[in-house]
Copies of this chain bind each other. A is one copy, B any other.
Amino acid sequence: MSTKSDHIPRATIERLSVYLQVLENMQRQGIEVISSGPLAKACDVNASQIRKDLTYFGEFGVRGVGYNVRELIQSISRSLGIDHQWNCVLIGVGNLGKALLSHREFGRRGFNIVGAFDCDPFKIGEEFNGLEVVCTRRLKERVADLNVRIGFLTTPPERAQRAANHLVEAGIKGILNYAPARIFVPAEVHVEYVDFFHHLYSLAFNISVDKT
C-alpha cells in the first residue's frame, strides 16, 4: 500500500465505495472506458470532486480519453485493501444474522464469513449456507486458526457489548456492528455502525419537514 493512502480523508473513502459500486455496474454493462463527467453523474457527485478524489490514488485518467474501468476498479480496490480476501466471523445468529450468512454478495466481494457464533444452545449446531453455528466460547480459537480480522455483530442490543468484548478478546481488528447499541472497544479496534434506524429517522424527519 502506498504511504499516500494513509492520509486519505474519511469522506473520500466513503465516496470511493460509491465510485466502486458504480464502476462495477458499468463493467457488468460492458463499458470499458469512462470520462470523469459521466462517471461523476452516475455517482451523483460533481466532476471536479471525483477528479480530486482519484488523485489520492495516482494518475489513472488519460486526458481526453477517460478512465479505464477495469484498471480503476483494481486501483481503488487495492487502495482500499479489498484486492485480497478477508476472513470474517458473525456473532448472533438471529433473523438478521441468518440473512447475512445467506447473502452471497459478501463472499463475492472477498469478505468470507468463515464462522457463525451464538451462545444459545438451541442455535448451536444449526447450519446456514454450509456453516455450522458454534458456541461463542470457541470464538478465540477459531479466529486464530482462520486468521479472521473482521467480526459482524448481529446480537440484540442488550448483548452487543458482551459480544464486542468476545470479539476483541479473540483478536478481531474491526467490528461491523448491526446491533442498535453503542459498543466500547480499545482504540486499536475499528468499529463501523450499520444503523437502519438512523436512516429511517432521517427519512421521517425530511418527509415531515417537507410538509410544514
Contact = CB atoms under 8 A, between A and B. Distances in A.
Interface of A: 1, 3, 5-6, 8, 10, 13-14, 16-18, 20-22, 25, 28, 42-44, 79-82, 86, 95-96, 98-100, 102-103, 105-106, 109, 111, 149-150, 157-158, 173-176, 180-182, 184, 188, 190, 192-210, 212
Contact of A42 (B8, B17, B105, B182): B182
A72 to B, nearest CB: 15
Contacts of A20: 201
A108 to B, nearest CB: 10
Contacts of A6: 209, 212
Contacts of A149: 207
A98 to B, nearest CB: 7
Contacts of A150: 200, 203-204, 207
B203 A194 contact: no
